[in-house]
Structure 1
Amino acid sequence: MKPDLRKALENNVLIGDGAMGTFLYQMGFPVGISYEEFNLTAPEVVADVHRRYIAAGAQILESNTFSANFDKLSKYGLESKVEEINRAGVRIAREAAGADAYVVGAVGSIRGGKRTNMSTKELKQYFAEQISILLDEGVDGILLETFYDVEELLIALSRVRKLSDIPVICQFAVEDVARTLDGYTMPEAFRILQQKGADIIGFNCRTGPNGIMRAVESLSGQLSVPVSVFPNAGVADYVDGEIRYTAKPEYFGQMAVRFADLGARIIGGCCGTTPEHIQEISQALHGYIPKPIDRTPVMELEAPIVIQDSLEGNIEDDDREPNLVDLVKQRHTVIVELDPPRDLDIKKFMIGAKALKTAGCDALTLADNSLAVTRMSNMALGYLAQAEIGIKPLIHIACRDRNLIGTQSHLMGFDALGIDHVLAVTGDPAKFGDLPGSSSVYDLTSFEIIRMIKQLNDGVAFSGKPLKQKANFQVGAAFNPNVKYLYKAVERLEKKIAAGADYIMTQPVYDPKLIVAIKEATAHLDTPIFLGIMPLASGRNAQYLHNEVPGIQLSEEVLTRMSGLEGEEGRAMGVTIAKELVEVAMEHFNGIYIMTPFMFYDMSVQLMEYVWEKSGRELSPLFRS
């Protein structure tokens, strides 16, 4: 009787199998079908692949169940066959494995690296269904593979641990990066998974041996669990109508020894690999004696409890973190605008974003080349702020710079990055910016872009063609109340709400009486409004905004109070005036929208702290971490 998989890895490097799907493709079976269905319709084909890997030296077989969950199978009308397909997959692998090889139940990511609108409750349900069937069929372990973020992997891992103490292998899909999609460094991710019950942790897919080698090397000195590696056979190429992989079996044999020297205890292959690749790995590691695994606990992470508690809340609660629309209906909510830099240095921006996060900012909003002045991509900075700092990005998207193709492509990029809050704006004409020879596109109006974004939420592309999944955007609309006839501005706002706007963000207001007038003029609207407040930085700044910037008007009182003030004195007065406005705004609106002048983020921090003081909200130490 073979030992428990964990015990076997204490003193051995075990050989995993290779690809199933791409190998079936190489055998002539077309893409676009469910290879998992073969467990029922062509079991001998699946068994033949397993036997080839066993003959090549594989000591661990993965059941042909990678995508055998309700969500993935439903795309082929097979959702009613989840149990049949998974049970058959384990039985076929078990028969091919014989008495000596291990069979692990393969469970793949459902999100697949995309921040879909699938709820945590649904993920739990689908993982629990598949995993319970695999366990009931008596697998030797569970392999959770091709996961892109810690959150989803922990959801799957928690489902296993609620049902069994069976060995669990957790594998991330990486592509020459040192972080997961939700922003955790690999040492952090490994630490969290180990603490939550993972027995073996590693990498598969997305890249070949070289990319996974770099990922393993980044963990040097920080491993206290066995590592598994299942690289692709290099980069896929499309030649003469066929998908081909370039990494030769001999190369895999050479890299296998290097992986083993770095501490890998399970070495196999992913996309593009064949029995020949596995045979080279097996031969290269014949007689290999690994070094003992260092079970000394790795150095404590800077804030491990914070990481765990934050994730645990996402996993154990059926609902995700509330979006801004839900949040602002419950309490005072603050979003802060921080301008992307006009050069390539992002250090100050990231420091400012971190300070705002620490002060309790509910979302960081980034303009889209406001005033038609060229700045760094707000998509890139929004993603970095989300991944590295953990602050929610709210990204402006202007009609000015992109045609219909570019606009949909841009929004699809937001969805893939997990950025789901956007503000749709027309955008200032290009001829008034720093590149006056540039063209303004304006394929869409602000009304149309709102409708088109909401169309993506319905799973329909701009072209009208159905998409394979739905987006989940919360769409904001801009509102300028600094006009002669407020009722006309409200009528325009009503049209934006009719187009689908979920929330409203106003231009900065500098008159307490206007704040009250806005509330009265919009009292009939259910859509939440974030009242804009931008502290003035100096007397000159006040004059410029009042006289030269469209949509901004300052009262004579404000202009007088700011007159002649510069430097710290000017900023201090600007914050004082802004606090007075904030106090009035908080009486009438839950949403506060603070605009940071000239990267003086400390001014925004002071205003946020004032909001929390007035609202009685106390930030927990976890939030401030």
Structure 2
Amino acid sequence: MNIKELPLIFDGAMGTYYASIKENPLSKCELANIYDRNTILNIHKEYIEAGCKAIKTNTFGANKISLESDFNGVKDVIVKGYEIASEATKGTDVLVFADIGPIPFLETLDLWEAYKEIVDLFLELGATHFIFETFSSDEYLPEISKYIKEKNPKAYILMELAVSPEGFTRIGISGEKFIEKVSNISSIDACGFNCFSGPYHLLKYIKTLNIKNKTISVMPNSGYPTVINNRTFFNNTKEYFARQMLEIAKQGVAIIGGCCGTTPEFIRETVANIEGLSPNEIVPSIKIEKIKFEKLIVENSLLEKIKLGKKIIAVELDPPMDTGIDFFMNSAKSLKEQGVDAITIADCPVARVRVDSSLLACKLKRELDITTVPHMTCRDRNINATKALLLGLSIEGVNNVLVVTGDPVPTAERDEVKAMFSFNSAILANYITNLNETTFSSPFNICGALNVNAINFSSQLEHAKKKIENGVTMFLTQPILSKQAVDNLKQARRELPAKILGGIIPIVSHRNACFMNNEISGITVSDEITELYNGISKEEATILAIKISTDIAREIYDYVDGYYLITPFKRIDIISEIIKSIGNIGNS
């Protein structure tokens, strides 16, 4: 089989088809390579008999994390899977592609070494064709493709992302940018999309891309899934699927196949439809210019004030835990009257449920005309919910957002409350940047967090630089309460091409200092400051809090573009006095 014959038709789903034909299927279909060999062999043969010219080994989830096994167990699954696929294709011109899926992230696992381990085994088995499918980003894909080609220059490598109908992966990576990037990498022979979306939506999406002179693959689900009694079903018909795949092929897509919900009959119908396709009918898709929406010229007051040389002041108010909103609103109004430039609102800090930060930001903007910076964590919502929230913020005229990964859910609650964490702050920033270019009429100013108290601050700086690459233009630092934090801030000022707001939190008591130092992640209170609070009264502590905060503000004045004041225990009185003192720093 010549890989360049167009279109090359792959098989369909293994996992969903296996589950549908077995009365008691194994929870991980890859294990069937060992415990149900004949079923997997017969599935391969069914797809080949249906007319496909390439099959994938039943090894998509063959990795230590997905199989919950050591590599000996993974090796057994891969070896058996490759042997079964090779036996199924014996005597035919059907190609066998070593199928490798994304390895779930685990902090203790070196993903690069894990992928190499799997690739090396396939190469030892004689694999010459590889498919990396259903990825959410291209992380490690260019490097692993280069590694394979160094081992076997004749290897053929296909890489696919799983994108939504809007063209983004579950962590917000743009499919269009993926195609643009990897199609220019010499070690990657073909790229495209699989899973997540049905054929209609991927056809519609392909029409928006420029795929001329590119080898593109499309392997959609049979359609959108339906969940009944905790089982997933796909209700689209093979005739509908095949018609859409024919239209996809006409766009110049060189490699087609099926993913979840597709069966040998879907592939048979697709083969029958495409057999009569004339080369003259194939017109490679050239990107259709999207309807241009009117960009509104909306001034970002924070950025404008900084451009004019003002040291801006942003004050953080914690949202209430219930519907009692009076203190929050009255405090915000008072702060505005004192000349505060923005109110920042935490997004369920310390993973405790509070009123939604974005809704409060809209309320402040609408009722008090206050500039707001709602925090947006990656902990509690997926990429769709995040986009929906951003659209609402944009409509309400809120055009600043602070993206943070978010605190983990407390251990005791993890059985009841599940964190999302499907993306991190750098990825979220990149997603918002893409939406700024394509969707929002008024772009967001994307802020990020900078931990100047990090023990390994060089690593924190590298992470900050990655955030900047992804669209972050302003950093709000963790509270500065030590000499080391000041030194780290100075280093950040030298190295980061972004605006910086220095974090200041007034300490209200000795107990408060000890608590923050031991219980709050990202805050370090120096021993010298902590000792100053030992044995003093509440009134004395208040005066000391204002003095220390003002002294810190004065010390960091030349290294920041403004201040980020964090309100402790609703002590607006202290914050107000600090604001007055800070206002005099530039004049002293």
- The TM tier, using the shorter chain, reads 0.5 to 0.7
Residue 232 of structure 1 corresponds to which residue in structure 2? Answer: 221
Instruction: Please state if 1:198 is matched with 2:170.
Output: no
Residue 17 of structure 1 corresponds to which residue in structure 2? Answer: 11
Distance 1:81 1:490, change over 3 A: same
Distance 1:295 1:498, change over 3 A: same
Instruction: Please state if 1:123 is matched with 2:117.
Output: no
Amino acid at match of 1:551: I
Residue 264 of structure 1 corresponds to which residue in structure 2? Answer: 253
Residue 60 of structure 2 corresponds to which residue in structure 1? Answer: 66
Q: How does 1:358-369 map to 2 (within 5 A)?
A: none
8 Å Cα contact 2:61-2:101 kept in structure 1: yes
> Could you tell which deviates more after superposition, 470-479 or 275-284?
470-479
Q: How does 1:41-190 map to 2 (within 5 A)?
A: 41-74=35-68, 77=69, 79-98=71-90, 99-111=92-104, 116=105, 118=107, 122-165=110-153, 166-180=155-169, 185-190=174-179
Note the C-alpha offset of 1:498: 2.1
Residue 585 of structure 1 corresponds to which residue in structure 2? Answer: none
Distance in 2 (alpha carbons) for counterparts of 1:17 and 1:239: 26
Q: How does 1:98-497 map to 2 (within 5 A)?
A: 98=90, 99-111=92-104, 116=105, 118=107, 122-165=110-153, 166-180=155-169, 185-196=174-185, 197-219=187-209, 221-239=210-228, 242-290=231-279, 348=298, 372=328, 396-398=346-348, 403=353, 413-414=379-380, 453-454=407-408, 461-463=413-415, 488-497=508-517
Distance 1:489 1:17, change over 3 A: same
Q: Secondary structure at the match of 2:346?
A: strand
Note the C-alpha offset of 1:60: 0.5
Distance 1:135 1:416, change over 3 A: farther
Tell me the TM-score normalized by structure 1: 0.56
Note the C-alpha offset of 1:82: 1.6
Q: Secondary structure at the match of 2:254?
A: strand
Q: Percent identity?
A: 21
Residue 37 of structure 1 corresponds to which residue in structure 2? Answer: 31
Distance 1:55 1:492, change over 3 A: same
Note the C-alpha offset of 1:518: 6.0
8 Å Cα contact 2:382-2:422 kept in structure 1: no
Amino acid at match of 1:534: Y
Tell me the TM-score normalized by structure 2: 0.59
Distance 1:486 1:56, change over 3 A: closer
Note the C-alpha offset of 1:174: 0.7
Distance 1:194 1:36, change over 3 A: same
Note the C-alpha offset of 1:288: 2.2
8 Å Cα contact 1:147-1:173 kept in structure 2: yes
Distance in 1 (alpha carbons) for counterparts of 2:122 and 2:204: 33
Distance in 2 (alpha carbons) for counterparts of 1:347 and 1:247: 45
Residue 514 of structure 1 corresponds to which residue in structure 2? Answer: 548
Amino acid at match of 2:276: G
1:9-60 per-position Cα deviation (integer Å, ceiling 9, x unaligned): 2x42111101001001101355772211111111111001001101111111
Distance in 2 (alpha carbons) for counterparts of 1:411 and 1:400: 11
Q: Secondary structure at the match of 2:548?
A: helix
8 Å Cα contact 1:15-1:266 kept in structure 2: yes
Q: How does 1:490-569 map to 2 (within 5 A)?
A: 490-503=510-523, 514-515=548-549, 533-534=562-563, 551-554=575-578
Distance 1:352 1:138, change over 3 A: farther
1:60-116 per-position Cα deviation (integer Å, ceiling 9, x unaligned): 100000010122122xx35431222112111111111233100001111124xxxx5
1:141-171 per-position Cα deviation (integer Å, ceiling 9, x unaligned): 1001001113253354344344333111111
Q: Secondary structure at the match of 2:577?
A: coil
8 Å Cα contact 1:453-1:475 kept in structure 2: no
Unpaired stretches in structure 2, ≥5 consecutive residues: 288-294, 321-326, 331-343, 358-375, 385-405, 426-448, 452-476, 482-504, 530-542, 554-558, 566-570
Note the C-alpha offset of 1:461: 3.9
Note the C-alpha offset of 1:533: 4.1
Note the C-alpha offset of 1:552: 2.9
Q: Secondary structure at the match of 2:183?
A: helix
Distance 1:284 1:472, change over 3 A: closer
Distance 1:181 1:242, change over 3 A: closer
RMSD value over aligned CA atoms? 5.2
Distance 1:250 1:556, change over 3 A: closer
8 Å Cα contact 1:14-1:60 kept in structure 2: yes
1:292-345 per-position Cα deviation (integer Å, ceiling 9, x unaligned): 9999999xxxxxxxxxxxxxxxxxxxxxxxxxxxxxxxxxxxxxxxxxxxxxx9
Distance in 2 (alpha carbons) for counterparts of 1:63 and 1:206: 20
Distance 1:268 1:127, change over 3 A: same
Note the C-alpha offset of 1:496: 2.9
> Could you tell which deviates more after superposition, 183-192 or 44-53?
183-192
